[in-house]
Amino acid sequence: MFFVDTIELEGLGNRSYLAGGESTAVAVDPPRDIDQVLAAAARRGVRISHVVETHIHNDYVTGGLELARITGARYLVPAGANVTFDRVPVADGDTADIDPGSEVMLRAMATPGHTPHHTSYALHEAECARAVFTGGSLLIGTVGRPDLVEPRLTEGLARAQHASAHRLVTDLPDETQVLPTHGFGSFCAAAQSAGEETTIGKEKSANTALTVDVNTFVADLLAGLGDVPGYYAHMGPANAEGPAPLDLTPPAVADADEIAARLAAGEWVVDLRNRVAFAEGHVAGSFNFEADGKLATYLAWMIPWGKPVTLLAESAEQLAEAQREVVRVGIDRPAAATTGTPADWVPAGQSPASFPRSTFAGLAAHRGDGVVVLDVRRAAERAGGWIEGSVHIPIHELHGRLAEVPPGTVWVHCAGGLRAAIAASLMDASGRDVVAVDDGFGAAADAGLPLTTC
C-alpha cells in the first residue's frame, strides 16, 4: 500500500512530500532543512531510496543534494536543468522503482512552463496512477508563474504551461491526486491556491488553464503577474551550483553594546517579536519582522543581499525557528543573536524606543491634521481601491525610497497590519514620526475614509 506524507513549509507557502510503500520512499522537492524529511521517513520506518526535483527552484534553497548524499539515495533532476553537480538526469517517460515490493513507482512527465525543464512525476501503484507531483505546473485552481527564468521566455513558457496542464489531465485518470509544491502562499504561483487538496477531475472544471483557450489564458496570466521577490535572483543559481550543507547551530550571542555597534555599522538588527510588543518598546534603529509573519519571504526580499543580520527574539525557541526559516532562503548564518526583552538589548542609561498603533477609524479622526498616509501594499492590491491622497510605496521598495515620503507624521497601512508594522519600523528607524495602522483594509470604508478606484 502506498503512502504520501505532506511536509508543510508555511513560511514559504510551499509543500514537500515523502511518498512510498512498505520499506522505501521518495522525497519530492525537499526543503533545505532536511531533518524534517528524515524524521518523516523514520516515523514511517522507511528508507529514502530516491530524491527528486520537479525543477530548479527560484524561491528557496533545496535540500535535495544533501539529502541524497546523507541517505545514499538516487538524486533525480530534470535532464534539461543546467546544474554543476552529479545527478541522475530525468527525461520524459523515465521511470523509477520506488518500492518494488509494494509495486510503487514514479513516471516522469515533461511539463514545461514554470521553467523550461519542469518535470512532474506520476506516482503509480500496481500500474495505476494514484497521485502526481506537479511542482510549479498544475496547482490547485491555478498554475506556477512563467516569468521567473528570463523575460524573453515568459510568453512561450506561459503557452507551454497551458499545454502542460492539458497533458496532465489527458494522460492521468480523474481520481489522481494533484500534489503541487507551490500555491500555498508562495510567490512562485500565479495566484493563491483555491483550496487545500484536489484531483485531476476537479481541476478540469476549476482551473483556468483547462477552461479557457490558450490565447485567453496567456493574456490573463501575463496581465495578472505581480512583483517578484528580489531574493529569487539568488535562489536559482544557488540550487544549480549545489547548495552547501546548512548550519543550524546557535549564532554568537550579542549583548547591548554589540547590538548598538552593529546598528552604527549599518547592519540590520531584526526584532522577531510580534508587532504589538515591538511598537510598545524596541531597540531604536531595529526593524520588526514578525517570526510568525512570512519572515523568510519579506526579510529576504527587503534586506540588501549579503548584509549581516542580527536577530532579537523573545525566546530560544523563537530564535531557532527563525533561523530555520531564513536558512531556507539562503540567509545562512545570522551575524549574531540574542533573546530577552528590549530592556536587555539597549545600552545602560538608554530607554527603548516606541511608536503608536491605531486603526482606520483612528486615521479618519486625524485625517484633517495634515498627516501623511502611506500605503505599502503591492500595486495589484492598490488597484482595487486606495485612500484618496495616500502615498504608495510597496513594502519591498520602501527601504530604498524613504526619502520620497513627504514630511509629517506618517500613518502607514497595508491590507491587514503585518506589512504596515514592518514599514513603521523602517520609518521609525529613519527618525520619522509614525503610526502603524493595525487594521484590515476593509475597515477604511467603514471609517468613512474617502476611497478611490481605477
Q: What domains are there in the chain, each with its CATH number?
A: 3-241 (3.60.15.10), 256-345 (3.40.250.10), 357-452 (3.40.250.10)
Of the candidates 317, 267, 37, 398, the residue with the CA atom closest to the CA atom of residue 412: 398
| pLDDT at position 193 over 90 | no
SS3 of the chain: the string is: CCEEEEEEECCCCEEEEEEECCCEEEEECCECCCHHHHHHHHHHCCEEEEEECCCCCCCCCECHHHHHHHHCCEEEEECCCCCCCCCEEECCCCEEEEEHHHCEEEEEEECCCCCCCCEEEEEEECCEEEEEEEECCECCCCEECCCCCCHHHHHHHHHHHHHHHHHHHHHCCCCCEEEECCCCCCCCECCCCCCCCCEHHHHHHHCHHHHCCHHHHHHHHHHCCCCCCCCHHHHHHHHHHCCCCCCCCCCCECCHHHHHHHHHCCCEEEECCCHHHHHHCECCCCEECCCCCCHHHHHHHHCCCCCCEEEEECCHHHHHHHHHHHHCCCCCCCCEEEECCHHHHCCCCCCCECCCEECHHHHHHCHHHCCEEEECCCHHHHCCCEECCCEECCHHHHCCCHHHCCCCCEEEECCCCHHHHHHHHHHHHCCCCEEEECCCCHHHHHCCCCEECC
Is residue 6 scored above 80 in pLDDT? yes
Query: Does the pLDDT at position 192 exceed 90?
Result: no
Separation of alpha carbons 160 and 144, rounded Å: 11
Say if residue 94's pLDDT is above 80: yes
**What is the pLDDT, as a whole number, of residue 11?**
87
pLDDT band at 161 (very low <50, low <70, confident <90, very high): very high
pLDDT of residue 384: 92
- pLDDT recorded at residue 343: 95
**Cell numbers standing for residue 340:** 530577552
Q: Calculate the alpha carbon distances from 145 to 32, 56, 90, 151, 407 in Å.
A: 22, 14, 22, 12, 39
* Statement: residue 208 has pLDDT above 90: yes
Residue 190 confidence (pLDDT): 87
Q: Apex CA 254: angle with CA 249 and CA 257, to 5°?
A: 170
In percent, the amount of the chain with pLDDT more than 70 equals: 100
Residue 31 pLDDT > 90: yes
The pLDDT value recorded for residue 40 is: 98
Quick: pLDDT tens for 285-330: 999 999 988 899 999 999 999 999 999 999 999 999 999 999 999 9
Does the pTM surpass 0.85? The reply is yes
Question: Is residue 30's pLDDT more than 80?
Answer: yes
Instruction: Say how many C-beta atoms besides its own lie within 10 A of residue 246's C-beta.
Output: 20
Mean pLDDT of all residues belonging to the chain: 96
